[in-house]
A and B are shown apart, each in its own frame.
Chain A
Amino acid sequence: MKIHEYQARELLEAYGVPVPPGKVARSAEEAASIAKEIGLPVVIKAQVLVGGRGKAGGVKPAHSLEEAREVAGKILKLTIKDIPVEAVLVAKAVDIRKEYYLSVTVDRSNKKAVCIVSASGGVDIEELAVKEPEKILKCYIDPLLGPNEKALRKTLSSAFPKGLLDQAVEALLNLYHLLVDKDCSLVEINPYAQIGESSLIAADAKINFDDNGLPKHAEVEALRTAEEYSREEIEAKEAGLSFVSLEGDIGCIVNGAGLAMATMDLIKLFGGQPANFLDVGGSSSPQKVLTALQILTRNRNLKAILINIFGGITRCDDIAKGILIARDQIDLPVPLVIRLIGTNEKEGRALLEQAGLEAASEMTEAVKKVLEQAKAGV
């Protein structure tokens, strides 16, 4: 799960990492009154979860209250990568002397938390990692022993001058504690800015959370914004389905994430385009199939639907029941191709046959068939 910069700043502050004074505003008027409260000049930043907001005109300075009102009004009318801007952060503009980079995340390969540090902050760190990897320093934290302050200090001393080192060490330790306490997948300050002679401040902040950790943290779940997922994705999640919208026109309902991806890939291989990723999960109830079909059929681009089930925990008869219920309740606007195999396959097929439906047993055969039917329908 992702959160907005203004929310991330609040968490950093709560963990003792200094941030420039600032508040979130949802109207031009509110932005001007915040600017008055914190003092000019300010910088006004669009609060959207997508990257590249600066290039899209979503980050602008303001030197007067009038300008703050005007700039905020303009940004609040923007749509950045299809996302309408609904809030702006109004933050005190700071005179940055130098930009550093600081983050803590999980290294899948080493199976440890990793601190990433650079004296060349303010740029896209992934780009920097490719172009100038020598400018990126890393320090791993043993999950059983916790952070080794000495080792962190040593890593940081290669990036930060002596006068700033204590602050950087403290900040990095705080980032790690935040990561662990809240089950974050990333805590990042970029730029971590030097202000004046001797202070460091988080001029921007990004925090992502591990979705598996959310059940432990109601306070984090409360920060969720509707923006990250489409209405369909949220509805699917509530029904226990895993769903991602894609650009194509062949709807897919599959059990298991790997098989769902392989089904999409096979559709593409035979010249089609999948409309979505959808995993109905294990122990699928008929209700899940119904909800899945309801979500899929809202897509106006849809030309055909493929249900691909390899029963393990999922029982083919449950899937068949779901299909039959859905047929009674919704008017399927496009052809439906079914592939059933595995647990209770015989029972599932019998149910479908009684209703005049047939099911393929091979995945390749089913994919070819759904593409033919999609074509025939055009």
Chain B
Amino acid sequence: MGILIDESTKVLVQGITGRDGSFHTASMLEYGTKVVGGVTPGKGGQEVHGLPVFDSVAEGVEKTGADCSVIFVPARFATAALREAADGGIGLVICITEGIPVLEMLGNYHYIRKKGIRLIGPNCPGLISPGKSKVGIMPGHIHKPGGIGVISRSGTLTYEVVYNLTMKDLGQSTCIGIGGDPVIGSGYIDLLEIFEKDPDTSGVVIIGEIGGEDEEQAAEYIKSSISKPVVAFISGRTAPPGKRMGHAGAIISGGRGTAEAKVKAFEQAGVPVADRPDKIPELMKEKLGS
């Protein structure tokens, strides 16, 4: 089953006529995702990969019944695209775009939440329910259907971990890249809550990194509310304080957000933390008791 997306999810691509939007639309179609159209204001009526392009999300939703949108527009248009998706009747919005100013995201976050819409990202690779649907930019072939949920702040590190899981025969229910920005639409807790209820998910892998306190809060939440096995990995143990490590959100500031504090929080919550990506499958198998 997996969570959030499956074979029936109908996807609109915002920014489908752009280079990235067009490229990844082809890759999603190839994976079997039900992409039903795209949106680029002013380019309505065109076609991309045989799909109709609409001028607005509202029009796209009306004509295709889309329930999910994935955003590939450049950062300067992303706030408008996010709000348009929220106003256009989309229930699940995935924002791949990197570089949205954090103050714009504060407004976007509350705007979207108030409407009861779920946002994944921004600055994320998207999500995939292996064998069913991929809404994002990850290489589909490294995934394998199964029972492990993955929640990650990273892109390529997620691929690394998923690759290791797949090699050790631990397939995935849904893998979600939540994004590397300081302010993101859905955090660990939002998604852990859904994974806990998903009958097809037997365990969850969390891939965190330095910066912020989301991992610490997730550890608390797991202790109190999650019965399924959880295994974690934290990157940035060697990152110096005060320096932004690529991701806008990956920075140790004022002594907070260190890898050490996050590892400690997880361990105290009974969540084993792998010291290298290729140890995650072992730890998960131990937790699952297989």
Contacts and interface: CB of A to CB of B under 8 A. Distances in A.
Contact of B138 (A179, A185, A257, A312): A312
Nearest to A277: B245
A363 B160 contact: yes
B4 to A, nearest CB: 20
**Chain A facing B: main interface SS:** mixed
Contact of B247 (A109, A258, A312, A313): A258
B18 interface: no
B237 interface: yes
Contacts of B125: 312
Contact of A212 (B138, B246, B248, B255): B248
Interface in A277-291: 277, 279, 282
A166 interface: no
B209 A261 contact: yes
A312 B163 CA distance: 12
A265 interface: yes
Contacts of B285: none
Interface stretch (A12-20, A31-39, A266-274): A266-274
Contact of B254 (A126, A213, A268): A126
A269 B277 CA distance: 12
Interface residues of B, number: 61
A356 interface: no
B238 A268 contact: yes
Interface string A226-256: 0000000000000000101010000000111
Given A126-B255, A211-B248, A260-B245, A180 B103 contact: yes
A244 B250 CA distance: 13
22 contacts: A106-B182, A108-B213, A112-B106, A126-B255, A144-B111, A210-B103, A211-B248, A213-B103, A244-B243, A246-B240, A255-B156, A256-B157, A256-B246, A257-B250, A262-B160, A282-B137, A310-B159, A310-B160, A310-B163, A312-B137, A342-B142, A363-B160
A267 B239 CA distance: 12
B99 A212 contact: yes
Contact of B101 (A210, A254, A269): A210
A42 interface: no
Given A264-B238, A265-B238, 4 more contacts: A210-B248, A258-B207, A274-B238, A310-B159
A87 interface: no
Nearest to B123: A212
Interface of B: 75-76, 99-103, 105-107, 109-111, 114, 125, 137-139, 142, 152-160, 163, 180, 182-183, 207, 209-210, 212-214, 217, 233, 235-240, 243-250, 254-255, 259, 275-278
Interface residues of A, number: 53
A363 B163 CA distance: 11
A261 B250 contact: yes
A113 interface: yes
B232 to A, nearest CB: 13
A324 B214 CA distance: 42
A216 B163 contact: no
Contact of A266 (B158, B250, B276): B276
B237 A210 contact: no
Nearest to B113: A111
With most chain B CB atoms within 10 A of its CB, the pick from A143, A179, A215 is A143
Nearest to A145: B110
A257 B106 CA distance: 23
